[in-house]
Each structure stands twice: as structure tokens, then as C-alpha cells.
Chains A and B, each alone.
Chain A
Amino acid sequence: MVQEKQVTLSVNGRSRTGRFPAHRTLLEALRELGHTEVKCGCEKGDCGACAVLVDGKAVDSCLTLVWTAEGRAITTVVGLGNAQSPHPLQKAFAESGAAQCGYCIPGMVIAAKSLLDRNPDPGEEDVRIALSGNLCRCTGYTKIFEAVSTAAAALREEGGVR
């Protein structure tokens, strides 16, 4: 029998508990716990669809073992906002038409959030670099760049990090 362990995660500020074997990735565990907003595109760290914030930093959850995430603050795109009260990034992505099939978007928004938390006024090159681990096959990135700049400006206007 594979050895399992009870793991308690803090996801979007709520505590979630499950039993997982040592080889279980954070991606698989989050999805098992119902966090289907975290997407699987490759399970190899190549696409960024599975990105979540771990203690404020964007990481590929497919490359993170769930046992190592115990006790750390995990944020998914659902933790940022919802349709009634969207995060400025979510609002900008929706309004600029940056989501086409949408499959890359949860990871894209998380990568952008991680960037804006570090650098509230990024130049185009900063945005490109920050999103370079997140593949999108639909948009050509043009509207994604626009959405990130729009959101950055909105956040600066609000005068705070959200």
C-alpha cells in the first residue's frame, strides 16, 4: 500500500484537508479537493495552466508535491474575485476579450497577479517575461498584454494591492 498522509492546505484563506500519497502533486490534490479552476495542460511545468500563488509567488502546481505545500498560503484564480466582485485583473481580462477558450486564463491571471504584486507599473518587457511560462494557443497574447496593463493602471489608481 502506498503511504498516505493527511495534509491540511490553506486554499484561498480556507483550510482544506485530504489524504494524499507522497507523489501526489499539488495540482492533482487541489483538483481532487474540488478546485477545478486549476487547470492541467501538461503536468511537466511547460504550460503554466496550473499556476497558483504559494505564499504570494506563482508556481506550477504540477511541479509541486502536495506534502510540501502543507501550511502555506495557496491562492487560485477563484481566490482573487468572482463575477460580482472581480479582481481588476479579472475585469480587465474579461472586458478586453483576453479570454478565448479560457483554459490558460486561470494560470495567466495568477502569473499576472504575481507580477503586479512585485511591480505595480511594469513595462511591456516585464509583462512578457512574467508571462513567458504561460502558454496560450488562442490569443496571440495581444489582448492579454493589454489586459495586464489596464489592470495595472486600475490597481495603481486604487492606490493599493489587492
Chain B
Amino acid sequence: MSTTRDDRGSAPNVGYRQIGRPLTRTDAPGKVTGRTLYAGDYSMPGMLHVKIVRADLASARLVRIDVSRARALAGVECILTGADLPDRTAATDIPGQTGRKRLNTDQQILVKERIRYFGEPLALIAAQSRDIAEQAAELVEFDLEPLPGVYDPEEALKPGAPLVSGSGDNVVAEYRIRKGDVDAGFGAADVVVERTYRTPFQEHAFLEPEVGLAWIDENEVVNIRVSTQVIEHFRTIAEAIGVPHNKVRILGALVGGGFGGKEDMTVEIYLALLAQRTRRPVRLEYSREDSFVGHGKRHPFKLTYRTGVTRDGRITALRISAIADSGAYVFLSPYVLLYCAVASPGPYRIDNLDFHGRAVATNNMYTSAFRGFGGMQACAAYEQQMDEVAKVIGMDRIEFRRRNFLRTGESISTGFVPPSAIWTEECVDRAWAALGEPTRVAYPLKIGRGVAAYLQSYGRLTFLHDTSEAWVGVEMDGTVVVRSGVTDIGAGQASALGQIAAEVLGVTLDNVVIYNSDSAVTPLAGTTTATRALYMTGNAAKLAAEAVRKRLAAGAAQELGVAADQVDFGDNRVFVVHEPARSMAMIDLVRACAARGIHRSELAIFRAPFSDPLDPQTGQGQAHPDYVFGAQAVEVAVDVETGEVTVLRSVAAHDVGQCVNRAAVEGQIEGGTQNGQGFALSEEMLYHEGRLLTPSFSEYLMPTSMDMPKVQSIILESRSGVGPFGAKGIGEPALTPVAPAIANAVADAIGVRVFELPMTPERVVRAIQEMERQI
């Protein structure tokens, strides 16, 4: 829908030829014509098909597994069980960052004895066809002895609760943030408001299930073509299968959706092991049900907020306690909890803050990365709490926020001052104003409106010392090549690098080709996670392109007989700045430079700021390179008889720093809005004792074309970010404020809050009934 440019405080966008425009992405033609090959579209001669046999209990001991009948089936080539594997695990802990290094929490590759979650893999079958692999899976016999399990993180914290792993307790990570004097702050408050908010599991539900194809090549390298966000798992895979790092190669493909769910490994180790054993190409594609039970989910959180506030709307103290369900293995739980901690007060100035959070192991499905990564769960709580507090002190919701907004140059929870502009207030005002006149409805419908502001990091944790590489070069005919390991998970990560190189080198985007996502031949760029790809790899590509431009400019200066700073590049030509008629075509310039032996390519590395870890006692220090600020405003209609919530309008306003591709930015906002709406209203993973009861798209309900309003994006550009051209990031921020905005709108409509997401019709009706009982 319509997009409004913001020119407040920033120069008009005249300086750029490619940047900021809604260009057709380089990957679009292949995708709309069906020519793009995804990882699952490749096959090889003699390829075997793999099926995984999974445990059907969440907490149990494997007493016996017998694969002899399955092995006897004609066409079965290899079956592996835990007993066949060396004693290796896949690392899931984050040494030094969990606050405490726990033993025995790495994930076993196949169950040896103890089963910790429903669906944990027991055996791998490789057969000549998928039909045979599936038949063989039916013939595998196993006996499980049920063991006491724990399925609620609060139960898991109690003394004597069954232990999921190791010894001691079930706490896998714990963080604190302490700032100012919270007791004094509560003493200074006129009112104290305490509320508890719950957020649910969520399934990534990328449309392309996990898939990969592995083979061993003539150099004894295990090649794996896989749908992944992270090609650099090759090191972990090598260690897990016992080969040197340089004997595993990951080839990505354009990814059919990731959202964090393809950040951890999926099929890679299984494929590598089977390729090693069979010496044949092996292919594994998850069924949708495999995908539902086979990868980590979003962490459910229980968040209790206790806010001290004066009558005139100043927050004097904030105490937060958070409990996250880590599920059966650690994976990225410590990071997710840390992101929640850092984001926990939101985009507000809180001088007296006490956050205490724990991630707790249970026998539920393990939880790990998901777009928003702890920060969005925090936002779901702090923005509902802002409305609750405003209601108690009788102040307008936006006015209350205005009195507490963090402003540019002020420090966040960890004492760190973000280097960029903080435009939260502008975003809230613009989004709210765009809702326009309220929609008129009649009983049983009621209209409600809500807004939510946020802060969300972009770039990885700075104590991880993140780096990213990109290579840019010009061919003899003046066309441009970009090489970088970055994976493209659908947001246009690769195309953005092309646009950056095109801008710097003055060529049009159709003259750029991007090679990405190959751990052996494209320079390693790090992960496509944490809203970091544009920031990190975009900066690397810009550095590389600038170095090439500098050398070409020197060549052009000689050819044109002017100083190097007098030449500029544009429209596939190089020209003299104030005399554009004096120019030459890129192709002629490149040939002239080649004749002079000028180096026409560059490999660049970009380093994020490096910091020490946060102080373990106070949580103070730098956690991320920078933060994005923005807001979502929504209007809903609630049917007070059925409890059904319809989102009528959804407006997002984000300061993205600088758009690289405007259409791609809008696309992220629209998709993030959809994901957040599903999280708020309909997406529910029902588990019974760890067993998923909703493993299909007919049971797990994502917003369809019938449910989504046309999303309106308001894009502000402060040009203040630490990404290329002042860009920030939008992948995760797009999702973060959506659910609390909807929750606030529902509460506005029905006069009572539903404290647990998703706000299904049943929960909404129950909240209304409860309110009516109390009146």
C-alpha cells in the first residue's frame, strides 16, 4: 500500500542512483517463472533417499531397537542407529555465555539411550526410493521405557523435578540486569502495577521444508547442498563426523524461508554420515510433519512486570522476571534470554531497573532462534504493560509513552548509548495518525485500537566479534561480479549486495551478478541471522566496491586527463564531474585498466565493533552494535459473542536508517506483520506431555489471504545506522511490535486484557465472561 517518505531531518535522496529505489530484485525473474532451483530440486545419479525414525515419547529410555527386518527389505542400502555412531555430539552450548557451562547438554546425533523430546531421531534409513525408505521405517522395532518428564518450566524449577540432562537443576541460562536503585525507585512511585504476560511456542512454518543432498567428491570432500541460513556449520559437521574442517563443503541454494528455523543445523549431519557410510549421494527431505517435530521452536516466555510510576506518568522503577522454556536441549536459549534481557524495558528511559531471567530445560520440543529472538517476547510484555500502567493512572496511552521515551543520545538497559538516532516518537505518531477515522460497526462487533513501540538490535552480540567478507570485481566488458557466502533466505540479501556494488561502481543492477552461499568458493560472510546480513555483508560489499572504484578512478583520471577526485561513475560510464560529456564507457575503462595491469577486484572484510561480555552482576556494557526503533498501530474488530478478532488496519512505521531496496523493505514489514499477527491471534502449538498435537497446516493456523489486512508501511530514513549508507535493518524489527499492538487493540475493544497469547476466540470469550462476572 502507499508508502510515505520522510524527509524530516534528512537530505533528499538525490545522491543515489540505485540505493533506496524499489528495484526488481535479481532473484525475482527466476522465482516467478519457476526456474529457480531450491536445494530440494537437485538430484544425482544413484541417489539414495533418507527417512528418519523418530521416538514417539518425550521422556523415555531406549531399551531395544531392532532394525534387522528393515535391513532385509530389498532396496534398503544403509541403516544407522545410535549404536553405530562414534561418541560424538553436536555442540549446542555457547561456552562462556551461558553464565554457567553445563555438561551433557550437547545434542546427541541419534538417541543412544535417553530420549528427551518427542520426535528425537532413533535411526536413519537410506534406500533406493522414498517408498522403500518409508516401508523400512515401518519395519524398525523399538521398545521405549517411559521416564518421568517435565513439561512446564515452572514445574521444572521446583526442587525434585525430573532432570532433563546432567545433574543439578534444569536451569540452562540465567541473566540479570541491574541499574540504579530499584527499591528507592519503587519508594518514589505513587502507584505500582504488576502484571504477568505469557507468550507461546511458535512454528517457523517456512513453506520449504528442510531438505538437502550430500555426496563425496573426488577430493574426499563431503559436499552438502542444503536449505540453510548458515553455511558455516561445516565446521561443526566436520567435527561431528570426524573429518577436518576443509573436508566439508556447504552449498546453499536460495532458501524457501528461514525465519531463524534454518539457523541451527537441520539435515546436514544425517546426510554427511550416510554419504560417508554408503559412498553414494543421499537426499533427505522432511515431510511437513517432520518439519513440525524436527526443528526448534520459538521460546514460550512468562514475563512478570512490576512498574513503579508517578501520577504524572514518570516511570520510577521496573522489576522484571522472565522464565523461558528451553525445551530438551540448550541450542540458542542463552542468547535468546540475553536478547530478552537487553530489550526488556523497551524504548523507554528506565533509571532503576532489575531484570532476572532464566531459561529452563523441559521435555518439550527444544526452542531456539526465531525472528525477533527474545526481543519480541519482551516487547509483547513491555508494550502491554505500558497500556496497563497508563490505564491505572488514567493517562492517555501515547502521552504516557511520550513522557518516558528514550531519546537520541540516551542509554538503553545495559548503559550503552546507541550510536544512531532514536525516532520512536515520530514512528508512534505517524503510525497512529495513519489509522485515520475509526471504522463503524454494530453489535456484536466492537472496535479497538492499539499501538506498540519497540527497540530491536541489528547485528550479532558484539562480544562474539563478528566479521563478514565480500569480494567485488569487474569483468573485461564492464559487468560486475559479487562473491560472498551470505545466504539469501528470501529477503533479497544477495540482491542488496548487488545494488550496493552497482551504486558504488556506477553500473545498473542488470549488469551485476551475485554468487553466494558456498562455503568453499565464496568468501565467508557469516550467518543470515540477527538482522545482520545487510549491516555486515552490505558494509563488506561496499568496502570492496569502493576499493575497486578507487583503482578504476585512478585509471580513468589518466585516460581522461583529470584528477582522480574529478571522475564519477554512473549509468555504466565514467565521466568528469562537472563535464559529464567527457566520459567513457565502463567497458573501455576496464580494458584500459587491464592494459595497465590495474587490479580490478577486491576482497574486503567488515568487522563489527568488538566488546567484552556484559558485566555478569549488573548486565552493563555493550551487547549489540546498534538498535532499530519504530512502532505498529492496528485497528481490530472483536466479535464479543464468538471472541473472533479481525485485524482491519495494520500500519507499521520504522526508521530503517536508509532503504537499500524500498520494495524489499516493505516486503519485510508486510511479512513481519503477518507473522506477528499469527503469533497474536491464531498460531497455537498444542502439546500433550511433549507430544505435538497440531503438526499440520490444517491444525496450526497461520494467517491466510482471508485474514491479512493490506499492510501500510511508513518508512522513515534517519540515515544514522551503522550499516551501508546509514542503513539499519528491518528483518526482525518488522515483527517485534505487531503482537502487543494487536493485544492492546483487543483490550481497547473489550475493556479487559487477555494476558496469554495467542488470543484465540476461546480466550477472548473467557476474558469477557470473567469481566462480566466481576461487574
Interface residues of A (CB under 8 A from B): 2, 21, 36-37, 39-44, 46-47, 49, 76-78, 80-83, 86, 89-91, 93-106, 109, 127-129, 131-132, 134-145
Which one of B21-29, B238-246, B356-364, B477-485 is at the A interface? B21-29
Can you list 16 contacts pairing A with B, beta carbon distance less than 8 Å? A36-B38, A37-B35, A40-B285, A46-B698, A47-B288, A47-B697, A78-B34, A91-B32, A99-B25, A101-B254, A101-B256, A102-B36, A103-B207, A105-B32, A135-B207, A143-B670
Q: Does B671 contact A (CB under 8 A)?
A: yes
Main secondary structure of the interface of A (DSSP, over half): loop
Q: Does B259 contact A (CB under 8 A)?
A: yes
Q: Does B30 contact A (CB under 8 A)?
A: yes
Closest B residue, CB atoms, query A83:
B29
CB-CB contacts below 8 Å: B692-721 with A: 696-698, 702-706, 708, 710-711
How far does the alpha carbon of A90 sit from the alpha carbon of B35 in the complex, in Å? 12
Nearest CB on A from B53, distance (A): 19
A137–B706 CB distance below 8 A:
no
Closest A residue, CB atoms, query B27:
A102
Q: Does B598 contact A (CB under 8 A)?
A: no
Which residues on A sit within 8 Å (CB–CB) of B1? 142
Q: A83-B29, A101-B255, A102-B256 are in contact. Are A96 and B663 (CB under 8 A)?
A: yes
CB-CB contacts below 8 Å: B628-678 with A: 661, 663-664, 666-667, 670-675
For the complex of A and B, list the 7 residue pairs with the smallest distance between their C-beta atoms, beginning with the closest. A37-B34, A101-B490, A102-B31, A103-B256, A97-B663, A140-B670, A46-B697
- 7 new A-B contacts, CB < 8 A, other than A2-B131, A83-B29, are A78-B34, A101-B256, A129-B705, A137-B674, A140-B703, A142-B710, A145-B710
Q: Does B205 contact A (CB under 8 A)?
A: yes
Q: Does B459 contact A (CB under 8 A)?
A: no
Contact of B666 among A80, A106, A136, A143 (CB under 8 A): A143
Interface residues of B (CB under 8 A from A): 1, 22, 24-25, 27-38, 40-41, 131, 204-209, 254-259, 285, 287-288, 489-492, 661, 663-664, 666-667, 670-675, 696-698, 702-706, 708, 710-711
How far does the alpha carbon of A76 sit from the alpha carbon of B32 in the complex, in Å? 11
How far does the alpha carbon of A67 sit from the alpha carbon of B673 in the complex, in Å? 42
B31–A128 CB distance below 8 A:
no
A137–B288 CB distance below 8 A:
no
How far does the alpha carbon of A98 sit from the alpha carbon of B131 in the complex, in Å? 36
Give the number of residue pairs across the A-B interface with Cβ within 8 Å: 179
B37–A139 CB distance below 8 A:
no
Which residues on A sit within 8 Å (CB–CB) of B28? 93-95, 97, 99, 102
Q: A135-B702, A141-B708, A143-B666 are in contact. Are A47 and B207 (CB under 8 A)?
A: yes
Which residues on A sit within 8 Å (CB–CB) of B666? 97, 142-143
Which residues on B sit within 8 Å (CB–CB) of A46? 288, 696-698
How far does the alpha carbon of A37 sit from the alpha carbon of B34 in the complex, in Å? 5
Closest A residue, CB atoms, query B704:
A132
Q: A83-B35, A86-B32, A145-B710 are in contact. Are A139 and B674 (CB under 8 A)?
A: yes
A100–B259 CB distance below 8 A:
no
B708–A36 CB distance below 8 A:
no
Contact of B32 among A2, A93, A137 (CB under 8 A): A93
B663–A44 CB distance below 8 A:
no
Nearest CB on A from B308, distance (A): 38
Closest A residue, CB atoms, query B203:
A137
Q: A36-B41, A47-B697 are in contact. Are A94 and B664 (CB under 8 A)?
A: no
Which residues on B sit within 8 Å (CB–CB) of A103? 38, 206-208, 256-257, 490
Listed residue (A97, A109, A136, A137) with the most chain B CB atoms within 10 angstroms of its CB = A137
Which residues on B sit within 8 Å (CB–CB) of A131? 705
B674–A141 CB distance below 8 A:
yes
Closest B residue, CB atoms, query A100:
B490
Nearest CB on A from B272, distance (A): 23
Nearest CB on B from A4, distance (A): 11
